[in-house]
Amino acid sequence: MSVFENVKENIDYVAKTMKLDEGEVELLKSPKRIVQVNFPVKMDNGRIRRFNGYRVQYNDARGPTKGGIRYHPKVDLGEVKSLAFWMALKCAVVGIPYGGAKGGIEVDPKGLSDRELESLSRAYVKSIHEIIGPTKDVPAPDVYTNPQIMAWMLDEYEKIRGEHSPGVITGKPIELGGSQGRGSATAQGGAFVLDEAARIQNLKPNKTSVVVQGFGNAGSYMAKIVSKMGYKITAVSDSKGGVLDEKGLDVGKVEKHKEKTGSVKDFVGAKNISNKELLELECDVLVPAALENQITKDNANKVEAEVIVELANGPTTPDADKILDKKGVMVVPDILANAGGVTVSYFEWVQNLYGYYWPAKEVHDKLEKIMRKAFGEVYSKSDEYKTNLRTGAWILAIEKIINAERARGNI
């Protein structure tokens, strides 16, 4: 099943719970704007290579659309539509004034030189510059993109516009208007909601084992942050495999090992495991921080965690959700668990618009307040409808989006 089919299935399920009418359901299933581009880039060998790119602006009833840009060889329109929809929900869940968007380029960035990567990034901005802007659509980093790529994109946009416009993009380097705390924001937000979920489940940090799938930016920061909060990290993994130490991993040393060898595998004192094995480990908290569709109907029955905190986008399929529900597993959904990134992106945008910048502690404190409040609202909504946290989060978000559309006279 494609990722967007999963989205539509979830919409249908939540629509029945909320008793939405046909027009409201149709609005939720229909992106406002889909832009598909194909552009040339001159490679280092002198040849011209063409690339496919996408930008989907799903819903802008609550404000300018917002969402990352990912570089990945398997990017497709269905994935980008799904991510854009989730961004609309995510912004609504945490109460920030954005709609949802997402972008992507079909490319393996690991096969490009720095010059080719810069040329690709600038060419993409040239192809979509008319539809982005601080009051239209604000991109940000995602899978295999970073602050340097955002800097190139900002520079290209400003050259085209002939003016400084730092609010057009977030996740930028500090020197170009980036916010303190942005690099770790997704994980930090996830850590706050993990802590709230642990409190609800009566899990004490020093007696709580945490397993993290994915040791990229979000996953590695998550492991470091929750380890400092007192939780025990027993296993982590990356695309090449994972490592397990039931006594607890020294996350800092694992990070240095990966920097040196290119993978967490073969970390001294730990047992090598596969990503499949990692998802099925006995633990208190499982944090999928990699890609979509990792927990499916085929492995959900083997998940032993009491709590799942979805730091990745869409790591659990609808069929798996039903199985986990029956098992009594608390799933903190992606649109809440990983909303720390877009929340601090919102802080960055506000700081850019005002030209007034906040210290790291202020960013951290504002993020904590928003994330813990959002968890409480989602938990209350799930309790009101006697449903799980994912459905509670979707209901909370969709109510806000539908109310905004209704106020505009669109439904």
Element (H, E) at 129: none
Task: Report CA Rg, the chain.
Answer: 20
- Gap between the Cα atoms of 92 and 71, Å rounded: 26
- DSSP secondary structure string, 147-215? HHHHHHHHHHHHHHHTS--GGG--S--GGGTPPTT-TTHHHHHHHHHHHHHHHHTT--GGG-EEEEE--
Q: Which domains does the chain have, with CATH numbers?
A: 31-176 (3.40.50.10860), 185-337 (3.40.50.720)
Number of other residues whose CB lies within 10 A of the CB of residue 347: 24
The string of pLDDT tens digits covering residues 70-115 is: 999 999 999 999 999 999 999 999 999 999 999 999 999 999 999 9
First-to-last C-alpha distance (Å) of the chain = 30
* Residue 220 pLDDT exceeds 80: yes
Q: Which helix (H) or strand (E) holds 99?
A: strand 99-106
Q: Are 134 and 64 in contact (CB under 8 A)?
A: yes
Q: Are 326 and 150 in contact (CB under 8 A)?
A: no
Catalytic one of 102, 172, 224, 232: 102
**Tokens of residue 319, six digits:** 């069929």
366 is catalytic: no
Q: Which residues contact 264 (CB under 8 A, 6 or more apart)?
A: 215, 236, 237, 238, 240, 241, 242, 243, 254, 257, 258
pLDDT exceeds cutoff 80 at 136:
yes
Cβ atoms of residues 154 and 118 within 8 Å: no
pLDDT for 49-61, tens place per residue? 999 999 999 999 9
d(CA 242, CA 275): 6
Backbone angles phi, psi at 232, to 5 degrees: -100, 115
Q: Is the model more confident about 291 or about 355?
A: 355
pTM: 0.92
Residue range 161-210, pLDDT digits in tens = 999 999 999 999 999 999 999 989 999 999 999 999 999 999 999 999 99
- Cα 266 to Cα 108, 141, 211, 215, 382: the distances in Å are 26, 30, 17, 14, 42
pLDDT of residue 311: 96
Rounded distance between C-alpha atoms, residue 212 and residue 112, angstroms: 29
